[in-house]
Amino acid sequence: MAAGIDLSPPLTVLKIGYTKEKSFSMEDEISDVVDNLKKMDIGKPPRDPLVMRHCISSTRLAEASESDSDTEYRGLKSPSDGKPSFLPIFRSGSWSEIGPKSYMEDEHICVDNLHEHLGATASFPSPGAFYGVFDGHNGSDAASFTKKHILKFIIEDNHFSTSVEKAIKSAFVKTDHAFADARSLDSSSGTTVLTALIFGRTMIIANAGDCRAVLGKRGRAIELSKDHKPNCTSERSRIERLGGIIYDGYLNGQLSVARALGDWHIKGSKGSRSPLSAEPEQKETVLSEEDEFLIMASDGLWDVMSSQCAVTIVRKELMLHNDPQICSRELIKEALKRNTIDNLTAVVVCFSPDPPPKIEIPKARWRRSVSADGINYLKGFLEND
């Protein structure tokens, strides 16, 4: 779950274009290209890098040694490679719209400084940040309750000092059970839950439902969560094993997600094993200088927009004005233009006070015109070599 190091050799790119300057016979083209290919050191393409994240905050990491020791104390290990540690600064912005629906059921939370939010007595590593998106259904009771209580359940869990991931998992279930006991609220209301908890360079994404977290890494989109739809292979297997059915893409013919808090009319009594799970899937990521920003959004955005499209929009906007709140608003505006049919919530979290740098694309060493027949011949040669 922690960020890995890609040791694959660099990719050498053969750039093939068209020009009217010179003409060559097909045999000359193929001969020249093949000769050059044999001389080139063609390596495997690099693996997908980890995602970047963005946020509006005034919190700067404390000294590297202090941060590392605190992180390890909480079971969050940031690797030390002998180089100066990357010190993120948390800044966040958010935007929500009701969309075409007649009522709003989404909720969200942005905490750029956990110590300021929870008070000076909080005993956990500094700096810390917390973000969440809660997409409610059958009313807003479950989403509002979860927004209000889930962070407290995480921080106060007995596992928090030794295993943050266990604390998060426990907090999701405790929040679910506490909502069932809240007699003044409608227990048939439900919500999907997506959270990001960051201590130092270590970020843990926890997800139950179909909200999504995407990291922007030098312009590339890295998905940090999986949409929990009933038709997903792993979710379908779990649902059917626990006696549930999937009808037309809906769990028990009622719900379009496989994991959610609330919905006690489906889950039955507390303690029983239900095909509708409140347990989150989690992913830990160690942030680096290449990680520029994090996008968290409800499915109203992802129903009409790819993860890469969202990262491209946010990066372009940050380079213009460096304001994550405007970025969140632009994502929502674009989703509305694409005729989304749901409520919309987007949170953008930045990890640097500066806008993303311009990506420089190195020029090709040489350029050669190759005909369509020549390209097909070349493909065959490479595939059979």
Split at pLDDT 50, 70, 90, the class of 119 is confident
What digits encode the pLDDT tens for the residues 166-214?
A: 999 999 999 999 999 999 999 999 999 999 999 999 999 999 999 999 9
What digits encode the pLDDT tens for the residues 265-285?
A: 999 888 788 999 999 999 999
Do residue 280 and residue 196 come from a single domain? yes
Do residue 61 and residue 42 come from a single domain? no
What digits encode the pLDDT tens for the residues 239-253?
A: 999 999 999 999 999
Residues spanned by the domain of 42: 1-48+367-385
**What gap in Å lies between CA 11 and CA 245, rounded to an integer?**
47
Do residue 143 and residue 187 come from a single domain? yes
For residues 145-158, give the mean pLDDT.
96
**What gap in Å lies between CA 385 and CA 380, rounded to an integer?**
8
**What gap in Å lies between CA 294 and CA 315, rounded to an integer?**
11
For residues 212-236, give the mean pLDDT.
96
Q: What is the pLDDT of residue 26?
A: 45
Q: Is residue 355 part of a domain?
A: no
Do residue 246 and residue 378 come from a single domain? no
Q: Is residue 287 part of a domain?
A: yes
Do residue 38 and residue 162 come from a single domain? no
Do residue 373 and residue 240 come from a single domain? no
Instruction: Please name every residue paired with 139 in a beta bridge, in sequence order, or none if there are none.
Output: none
Q: Is residue 230 part of a domain?
A: yes
Q: Is residue 40 part of a domain?
A: yes
Q: What are phi and psi of 182, to 5 degrees?
A: -80, 95
Q: How many domains does the chain have?
A: 2
What digits encode the pLDDT tens for the residues 35-54?
A: 554 444 444 444 443 333 33
Do residue 193 and residue 99 come from a single domain? yes
**What gap in Å lies between CA 367 and CA 237, rounded to an integer?**
52
Burial class of residue 374 (count of CB atoms within 10 Å of its CB; 0-12, 13-18, 19+): buried
CATH of the domain at 202: 3.60.40.10
If one counts every other C-beta atom within 10 angstroms of the C-beta of residue 161, the result is: 13
Q: What is the pLDDT of residue 77?
A: 52
What whole-number percentage of the chain has pLDDT above 90? Answer: 64
Do residue 16 and residue 140 come from a single domain? no
Q: What is the pLDDT of residue 357?
A: 94
Q: What are phi and psi of 257, to 5 degrees?
A: -125, 155
**What gap in Å lies between CA 370 and CA 132, rounded to an integer?**
52
Q: Is residue 121 part of a domain?
A: yes
Measured distance between the N- and C-terminal CA atoms of the chain, rounded to whole angstroms:
37
Do residue 140 and residue 161 come from a single domain? yes
How does the average pLDDT of the chain come out, rounded?
Answer: 82
With a cut of 80, say whether residue 233 has pLDDT above it: yes
Do residue 130 and residue 220 come from a single domain? yes
Q: Is residue 358 part of a domain?
A: no
Do residue 69 and residue 36 come from a single domain? no
Do residue 31 and residue 133 come from a single domain? no
Strand pairing class (220-223; 212-217): antiparallel
Q: What is the pLDDT of residue 143?
A: 98
Q: Is residue 361 part of a domain?
A: no
For residues 107-134, give the mean pLDDT.
87
pTM: 0.75
